[in-house]
Amino acid sequence: MSEFTMDLSEEQKEIREWLHGFSVDVIRPAAAEWDEREETPWPVIQEAAKLGIYSLDFYAQQYFAPNGLGIPMIMEELFWGDAGIALSIVGTGLAAVGVVANGTEEQIGTWIPQMYGDASEVKVAAFCSSEPDAGSDVGSMRTRAVYDEAKDEWVLNGTKTWATNGGIANVHVVVASVDPELGTKGHASFIVPPRTPGLSQGQKFQKHGIRASHTAEVVLEDVRVPGSCLLGGKDKLDERLARAREKAKKGGERVKNAAMATFEASRPAVGAMAVGTARAAYEVALDYAKTREQFGRPIIDNQGIAFQLADMRTQIDAARLLVWRASWMAASGQAFTAAEGSQSKLFASEVSKKVTAQAIQILGGNGYTREYPVERMHRDSAIYTIFEGTSEIQRLVIARTLAGVPIR
């Protein structure tokens, strides 16, 4: 177990400065344009690919950092630049992690490169889990996967929603139910290769924020994929289903939902995204308060403004500490006995909404216009209390964990 530290390694400090420079030079100048266009910022993603930022190798190196602070550091710096563009850059990682976590070595080697493409022709991937009637309640999933033994193919039918890169992705990773009676224990993940018949993009959502990130429905109509596209393989799935059925027969045994446990471990990364957006808005407000004069003096000299900025900075630093603690615990293999992952995501996301709103207030009428970025940052921050589990779900997870009740 690594000793907890709030110091980044020298390599991490260099990477942080490099990412900050990318955010300053590439992301920030493009943010307003792509927010207005509500389109995927392909040129920015391509520039990130040229520099090695858009690649699984880059994130994997930081993921395995002993102190656990690599991923939150990356997320904070990129989302400091702009949340919509940053999500377009890191969104493929959701699908890639799904393959790495559940796939065989052959599947990882086959599909991960196709998710990212290369610097000359970038690709994106989509992770498709949520459904119109199954967001927080993953047990209500209706998308079905039926095995056609004669052809060694899986047939997928259903509709996915809120899919980042849904429909425009080169590779889709789809979570489907193979045994509805087992609830979440009967779920499996499948690769849908490029240009597979039956997969189409449904509604593209016109969003309040993170508008540079493509979000859409994915419709699956008799989508046939080879047996080799079942992540982990059929033998592993059959063994898992058999164990789940045996436990169901015994009755009375409540097993912690593996999907919820996975979300719990990934939530600090979302908290880091929220910290990045909050920090960006705070810095704009601080600079404005130092230079904006009213009644013959900078407005930061007014106690009402100064105290707001003091609270904003304190809350941001506290949020970062919760994120770093949870990230370190995950890297050290420590159990989240008090749902520390959800704590970090809950607090950081709520702080981001509050801080960005305060930034608008400090800028006054200017903050309400698109001439200043805090208006966009406030819109972007709303998503943090919604995706990867709403704030209400975070509180439920924390409360059930403290009560010793399994998360289902």
Sign of torsion, CA 118 25 349 344? positive
Cβ neighbours, 10 Å, residue 333: 8
Half-sphere exposure of 323 (CA within 13 A, CB side): 31
Is-contact 171 114, C-beta < 8 A?
yes
Q: What end-to-end distance do the CA atoms of the chain give, in Å?
A: 29
388 catalytic? Reply is yes
- Rounded CA-CA distance 297/281 in Å is 22
**Cβ contacts of 301-309, under 8 Å, gap ≥ 24:** 305/362, 308/358, 308/361, 308/362, 309/282, 309/285, 309/362
CB 29: neighbour CB atoms within 10 A? 12
44/148 Cα distance (integer angstroms): 42
* Residue 396 to residue 376: CA distance in whole angstroms: 30
Q: Which residue is listed with tokens 């490099």?
A: 18
Q: How far apart are CA 316 and CA 89, in angstroms?
A: 24
Strands 171-177 and 125-128, how do they pair?
A: parallel
101-125-27 Cα angle (round to 5): 110
The CA distance from 369 to 11, in Å, is 39
Give the integer Cα–Cα distance in Å for 280 and 352: 10
Q: Which of 38, 371, 388, 392 is catalytic?
A: 388
Helices 70-81 and 56-63 pack at an angle, to 10 degrees, of 130
Active-site positions? 388
